[in-house]
Amino acid sequence: MSAETLAQPVRRRPLGGDLVERLGPLGVVAAVVAGLLALAALLAPLLAPYDPTVGSIVQRYQVPSAEHLLGTDQSGRDLLSRLLYGARTSLAGAAVVVLLAGAGGTALALVATWFGGRVDAFVGRVLDLLFAFPNLLLAILVVAVFGTGLGQVTVALALAYVPYTARVLRSVALRERRLAYVQSAELQGLSGMAVSGRHLLPNIAPQILTGAAINFGYAMIDLAALSFLGLGVQPPTADWGLMVSQGKDSLLQGYPQQSLLAGTCIVVAVAAFSVIGERLGGRRAGGRA
Amino acid sequence: MTDVLELDDIRLALPHRGGDRTLLRGVSLSVAPGEALGLVGESGSGKSMTLRTVLRTEPRGARVTGRVTLDGQDVRRLGASALRRLRADALAMISQNPRAALNPVLRVSQFLVEGLCDARGESREAATRRARDLLAQVGITDVDRCMDSYPHQLSGGMLQRVVIAAAVAGSPRLLLADEPTTALDVTTQSEVMAILDEQRRERRMAMLFVTHDLELASAVCDRIAVLYAGEIVEIATPDQLHSAPRHPYTRLLLDSRPSLTAKTPVLPVIPGRPVAAYEVGDGCAFAARCPWSAPQCADGEVTLAHHADRAVRCRRSDDLAGELAHATGPEATA
Amino acid sequence: MPGFVIRRLGALAATLLVSSFLVYGAVYVAPGTPESFLVQGRTVSPEVLVSIRAQYGLDDPFLVRYWHWLSGVFTGDLGESLTTRQDVASLLASRIPTTLWLTAYAAVLIVVFGILAGVIAGLRGGAFDTAVLLGSSVGFAIPTFFAAVLLMSVFSVTLGWFPVFGAGSGFSGRILHLTLPAVALALPAVAVVARITRTAVVEERDAEHVSVALARGVPWRVVARRHIVRNAMLPVTTIAGVNIAALVAGAAVVEHAFTLDGVGAMLINAVQQQDFAVVQAVALVLVAVFGVVNLVIDVLYAVIDPRVQLGGESA
């Protein structure tokens, strides 16, 4: 065992200085778009000209004007304000899904890797069982049990994403554990907790982040879909998925703005986040982490 | 008798960030009918790239100049369909790794039949019959099993026999072999080499044989061309090379192989690192590593000088003739 | 191969059994009691409540109730809808054709257009390649429900080419009614499959066995078909399969958007109305179909890749 293999190979993919280089021009544009969306969500109360939940029925279906920059919806509510507030539920929801799924997946992966043997096999069985359900079905079933609402669908989706995250991270952690530096740390008598936290975790961190970036786009789509189905965010809260759904009836009557605007916001956000994820991970689009 | 193959001043450059990279700096050689010519050199010396210019399978974007003449045809100027016919009829290639050369999801029979049927236009039945004969000829005993096998079910040695069978199938004029035994187990290397040699002699095919192994080339080839940094530094018969190398690089190449008879305390190594063709400046490419280099070696172009039946690219070859005939000790190269 | 299939079917049966227990158990512990749902907020006398509890066996222990339900499932009795009092099995049966047509149609679109676009882009390169790359990036980001709304807006409302609602009857009627829903459902998957196919073809083009085949004088058309496209289909099969299997659940969104009377829409309605008898049954059926589709894909993969040895781990 040479000194070189014993040294911990931290940060094989540094995430700092060469970030711009790894993102590339398109990635930088995507990052800027994502940043602007996050800013819009954060500053919605300051930016929004109107209360997103209050409207006047006499002002319904207004075309864009100086008063209402993007017009109004079927209840006379200001669309720009609703889009700005909608960014909050859409982005925050997806962020929580990714965070929970990442934490759950990481925990399962580390536990399975560290204990190995029966624990690993058990975790494997549980994941297999979860894999037997299509993502969306699993989320719908959780909603069926715990009821509709943003909180419920967020947890439901996180649960549906855990097996994917756990499976990828488990294989990465397993490969890492077999490396000499982890083995030597183990031989030095470090506890499993310490080795996992100090050595395994920092080294699978890049994969956790990449997975999160890729899953973010999926989470946005799935959350919006659940809201569209009436299972997620409930009216009168503003949400992009819900707006597409509510705009559907208006659209059939010849007022397509609401659906189009909200849908476009989703497409732009998802595209931005999946480009970032793809660039960071160097993976093909459509791969799931 | 006219030569089967003639390479005239072949130069090759690959596009690279910050300017093209030269890999071949003017390679000229000829192969007579039935002759086996060895191309020997370190990795990166350009020996495989030389082969690929003959077959026109150089990497995408490569810029090649010079003439490749095969049986009077200017290979580099052939149109797509003429090139395809030439590849099907007159040329055959045996590459280093048979496992990469065969499509992993097709059976051996499909690989063999394809070369005869789709490439050469033979009927499927005739091609199948011939494929079976060919497998028997390269020493495969269970022909049925081999025909039905997928590549992953066969050993490297077996696969290389299949590749040899496919290569000699059309009795091409010229066989191109790129380290055909390097990727194989040591125990099967000589067996596969013997089969290749036997098939070549039986069908009187000429061969361009690329290897880094001077001894192997000496055993198989009629003449050997030694490459260094994208150009030929010496051409001679194996006997001439062994008894009286004319180029310092050849001498050092001979010495850096462990001898079978004499025990050397320290194996001599060639000082310095191999120079890539694109790094070469003015003067002799080997001068920087050459123990015999003199001030005159550093500038001007050194040409390949022909003396009777051999050629050498060294200004001092006449001065050094006597010295190079004897093996150098470690102290000589230090 | 038959051994593998039997083992996998066994594993699927076990998975279904555990899933059924989980689904039934989850509903059991869910907040809100079935009888409170059944009385729909009406004030009823305690006697009526008792009789309702007895009628639905709500006082039996959990395992007994699960056993009753499970043995019913084995005889084809999926219970009774809490809202409509209809037989769930016949309800399901009436809904299945629409979903089947829709998903089959979408699957055909995914395979045909995804693979075709990817293969042409990978082999030809140039402007078409750029178009496929761009199109797949955008297509991938369009949620099915938004695609549904967009298509409806353009082709039904504005152009009037396709009907807005309904699933149609007869072959041509179905095709006409289900074209927009199937396109919406297939769109993201077409994008993904096209992208993966294109990458696989480009990678395979650079494989040594391809240049060897060309160097042997095998014509380009034969090499493209037999070596490049054939081998590129290996990763594509997996990705296309995963995406087709996911249609099982994804159909719910599109059915909801187009108000189609499919199984997915039935599930969504049941969830909204807390009709757990229907939710349980539909979930079980969907998991079963999902499992079977995945099994078919694995078998197909083994058929096209001789290196895959079926029979190792069943998982």
Token pair, residue C48, equals 């009526």
Strand-pair category, B21-31 with B231-236: unpaired
Model confidence band, residue B258 (pLDDT cutoffs 50, 70, 90): low
Contact check, Cβ <8 Å, B118/C230: no
d(CA C136, CA C138): 5
- Which tens digits make up the pLDDT trace of B70-84? 998 999 999 999 999
Residues of B in contact with C202 (CB under 8 A): none
Contact check, Cβ <8 Å, C249/A137: yes
Residues of C in contact with A143 (CB under 8 A): 271
pLDDT of residue C42: 63
- Which tens digits make up the pLDDT trace of A75-89? 778 888 888 898 898
Residues of C in contact with A233 (CB under 8 A): none
Task: Answer whether B78 touches C (CB < 8 Å).
Answer: no
Rounded to two decimals, the ipTM of the complex is 0.85
- Which tens digits make up the pLDDT trace of A2-37? 444 444 444 444 445 567 777 778 888 888 998 999
Residues of B in contact with C212 (CB under 8 A): 93, 95, 101-102
Contact check, Cβ <8 Å, A286/C138: no
Summarize the confidence of residues C155-176 as an average pLDDT.
Answer: 78
Q: What is the chain A residue with the closest CA to C29?
A: A145
pLDDT of residue C56: 66
Give the phi and the psi of residue B280 in degrees, each rounded to 5.
-75, 135
pLDDT of residue B65: 94
Contact check, Cβ <8 Å, B105/C207: no
pLDDT of residue C275: 84
Picking from B249, B299, B297, the residue whose alpha carbon sits closest to that of residue B275 is B249
Task: Answer whether C305 touches B (CB < 8 Å).
Answer: yes
Say if residue A110's pLDDT is above 80: yes
Contact check, Cβ <8 Å, C272/A230: yes
Name subunits touching B (3+ CB pairs < 8 A).
C
Residue A160 has, within 13 A of its CA and on its CB side, a CA count of 26
Kindly report the number of other CB atoms within 10 A of residue B59's CB atom.
13
Name subunits touching C (3+ CB pairs < 8 A).
A, B
Summarize the confidence of residues C68-87 as an average pLDDT.
Answer: 81
User: Of A81-85, B70-74, B284-288, B324-328, which gets the smallest average pLDDT?
Assistant: B324-328
Summarize the confidence of residues C234-243 as an average pLDDT.
Answer: 91
Cβ-based contacts under 8 A for chains B and C: 72
Radius of gyration of chain B (CA): 21
Q: What is the chain C residue with the closest CA to A248?
A: C149
Model confidence band, residue A286 (pLDDT cutoffs 50, 70, 90): very low
Residues of C in contact with B103 (CB under 8 A): 209, 213, 226-227, 230-231
User: Of A145-159, A195-209, B37-51, B244-258, which gets the smallest average pLDDT?
Assistant: A195-209
Residues of B in contact with C231 (CB under 8 A): 103-105
Nearest to C286 among A137, A144, A275 (CB): A137
- Helical ranges in chain B per DSSP H: 47-55, 80-89, 98-101, 108-117, 124-137, 143-148, 156-168, 186-202, 214-220, 238-243, 248-255, 317-324, 330-333
pTM across the whole model: 0.84
pLDDT of residue C40: 60
Q: Report yes or no: B305 and B317 within 8 Å, Cβ to Cβ.
A: yes
pLDDT of residue A287: 39
Contact check, Cβ <8 Å, B115/C307: no
Q: Which residues pair with B12 in a beta bridge?
A: B24, B64
- Which tens digits make up the pLDDT trace of B259-275? 556 565 566 677 777 77
Using DSSP, state whether A199 is helix, strand or coil: helix
User: Of B24-28, B93-97, B297-301, C40-44, which gets the smallest average pLDDT?
Assistant: C40-44
pLDDT of residue A289: 35
Model confidence band, residue B315 (pLDDT cutoffs 50, 70, 90): confident
Which of the two residues, B162 and C160, has the higher pLDDT score?
A: B162
Residues of C in contact with B119 (CB under 8 A): 216-219
pLDDT of residue B186: 84
- Which tens digits make up the pLDDT trace of C103-129? 999 999 999 999 999 999 999 988 999
Contact check, Cβ <8 Å, C222/B118: yes
Going across the sheet that includes B223-228, the strands are: B91-94, B174-178, B206-211, B36-40, B223-228, B231-236, B310-312, B305-307
- First vs last Cα of chain C: how many Å apart? 15
Residues of C in contact with A223 (CB under 8 A): none
Contact check, Cβ <8 Å, B152/C211: no
Picking from B122, B115, B130, the residue whose alpha carbon sits closest to that of residue C218 is B115
pLDDT of residue B265: 59
Nearest to C217 among B88, B106, B150 (CB): B88
Say if residue A189's pLDDT is above 80: no
